[in-house]
Amino acid sequence: MNQNNHSPNKSVAVGCTVIHFAYALPLLKTGMFAQLLSRYSNLGNGSTTFPHWYRYGWFPETPTPLPAPGSITMRLLSYLQQRHPIRFYSLEETGHIDWKTDDIILGHPHPNPDTIVQRAFSSTAPCKHKALIFPIHHAMPKINNFSLPLLDQADQVFGIMGPYWKETLSQSCFAPWKHKITSLDMAVDGAEYPYLKKHFNPPGRRGYLYIGSSSDRPEKGCDILEKTMAKLSGFPNGWIGGGRELSGMKRIATYASLTPSFMASLANQFDFFINTSISDANPTTILEAMAWGFPVACTPGSGYHNIQAITTLSSTDIEYNAKILRDLQFAPEDHLQWLSQEGRRLIETHYSWERFCSTVWNGLKPYTC
């Protein structure tokens, strides 16, 4: 599927149900088109005067691979466009959607009350079906408080979540709406993230890799990561991401294009991917790492839990984490090969865009004309 070749959907017609889909705009390459949009958006003291060029899903200059949440936008939009009339809106777009009584609204919650999603879900104007789609995690409820009133108004909720958040949904702030929620597993395209990690460094020289921001967002658990790595100072480590410095970890870059050639060089240096999130729905970086062949060690708070190919870390017990990661450091090569190959198998069989998009479409299809 060519993510950069979306033409306006000719089937949008009067009298037929339209799906109004609001999600994050994907990143654009820093080329001529992006510069043109920037110039137009800065006219009139910062107000956007350029027409909504993305309305029908036209994105001419997106990078490959495209990171989340833009990857969700592009994949789901393309999938739905092939099956039904769609009109696309930016997540941060303000104003009103002009819908008809037979139309469907599918959108990501936004805290700004003037955004089209907030207004659509607070409106009493009739439509056939209102559905939300967004990452669900609940170890830090304040993060999600703004979205809860919208769940009251929603007919259906597609919750992007790992098995941990699904298993604990009944004990969460989302429990009153559990009957509305359909769980979605995140996805990546294995062709864009080739299998690279086919050999491991000798015991004692194996490296730990982290990719993600170190910004002051406690849900990411970077303090746990720092404390854990302090116990493993004798082994190689590295990380890629913006934000503050992480003590005891070597920063490779604040940003890097994760091309196959670049990741192949990292696969030679590092052997394990680690993530210590406290409240993170389903980090795509973990799936990317599994696709490349890195054995993953992460906390349940990352969303991934009770998966044989993934080694479980703790969000509270630093000594336990150090022991588990040290065990991997000296694990037999054949065990690491199994973890690597099993992780890749899951990418190819379970964490696919076909599974993700078809789950959404099958949920909406009964309400289409």
* pTM of the complete model: 0.89
Inform me whether the pLDDT recorded for 46 exceeds 50: no
**Cβ(59)–Cβ(120) under 8 Å?**
no
Angle between helices 318-329 and 222-230 (to 10 degrees): 60
Q: By mean pLDDT, which of 56-70, 189-203, 265-279 is the weakest? A: 56-70
pLDDT, position 37:
56
Mean pLDDT of 274-302: 96
pLDDT, position 41:
52
Residue by residue, what is the 3-state secondary structure of 274-340?
EECCCCCCCCHHHHHHHHHCCCEEECHHHCCCCCCCEEECCCCCHHHHHHHHHHHHCCCHHHHHHHH
Inform me whether the pLDDT recorded for 146 exceeds 80: yes
pLDDT tens-digit series, residues 299-317: 999 999 999 999 999 999 9
pLDDT tens-digit series, residues 63-115: 788 889 999 999 999 999 999 999 999 999 999 999 999 999 999 999 999 99
The full set of domain ranges for the chain reads 19-187+352-367, 208-349
What tokens appear for 285 in the block? 């970086």
> How many other CB atoms are found less than 10 A from the CB of residue 125?
10
**Cβ(132)–Cβ(157) under 8 Å?**
yes
Burial 334-367 (b: 16+ CB within 10 A, else e): eebbebbbebbebbeeebbbeebbeebbebbeeb
- The topology under which CATH files domain 208-349 is Rossmann fold (3.40.50)
d(CA 155, CA 132): 8
Inform me whether the pLDDT recorded for 40 exceeds 60: no
d(CA 269, CA 184): 33
Inform me whether the pLDDT recorded for 42 exceeds 60: no
